[in-house]
Structure 1
Amino acid sequence: MESLYSRAELLEQRERWRQAGRTLVFTNGCYDLLHPGHVRLLERARSLGDVLVVGLNTDSSVRLSKGPGRPLTPERERAELLASLEAVDGVVLFDEETPRALIARLLPDILVKGADWSHFIAGREEVEAACGRVVTVPLEPGYSTTRTLEKILSQQP
């Protein structure tokens, strides 16, 4: 999967994009059960710049934030699904609780998060200090990984 970057590879690629004058957009998440709400957020994020990179929580990072029953889909499969989307130019895994350190190194031109995270956007301070923009995108009504999972589990005998 050529669009899955290590941090070092992504930082090298970031410099090439910067030299080419390309606007880098970054967003992050677990993307455990990919649904239309995710796809639309990613498409909206991509429309804000030339390149979209998605920071993807590793399995251990998802367990920390979502609990021991998650993720449902292993990180390599989640990365492959994300990388296959037309809107996504690259995926990078992060193992920390938040992608703040990654964002501080990458310094995207635009940092995007769903509006449900407007109270706390990891990396906001670093991006804004580097004259970048932080954009919150409204969520698509009716789509939620947690609600989908609850619905699936409630239908089991």
Structure 2
Amino acid sequence: MSDTTSSSSRIGRIGGLLMLALAIAYGIGGSQIEYAFASDPLGPRVVPVLLATILAMLCLLYLKNPGPTEAFPKGQLLAKIAAVPVLLLVSALLLEPAGFSASIFLLTLGVGWIFGAPLRLAIAGAVGQAALWWFVFSYLLDVYLPTGRLFG
């Protein structure tokens, strides 16, 4: 159930402020994109700046009236929520030394296991995801993917 206490409202506003900070940073980053004068008339800055503006406006609207929010997670749920960004960071750091496939395998295995998949199914899903995305990027999109120092 929703918790409409002042603590819950404060949590909603903290989330809104974090998203507003993200929108501002994204807008600043998008506005710094350099491009040739002869390129597209609008240039590559328009989409990131437009998205940042829309996100900022929605954040300000949310900050004005955050509405009911759920209570801040505790215990095992908080650990699961915190584990996903940690897995993303570890996966990104392992991209060069272990390669794309191993990095994606670890990421999907960890996320599957965190969300309650049996280990056997999490491994099967991770193998499938690693193979699928290697095929899509390497063969369909012709994008270079690192094989890693450990394997290549």
Does the pair score TM above 0.5? no
Q: Which has the higher contact order (CA 8 A, sep 6+)?
A: 1
Q: TM-score when scaled to structure 2? A: 0.22
> Greater CA radius of gyration, 1 or 2?
2
Normalized per residue, the structure richer in strand is: 1
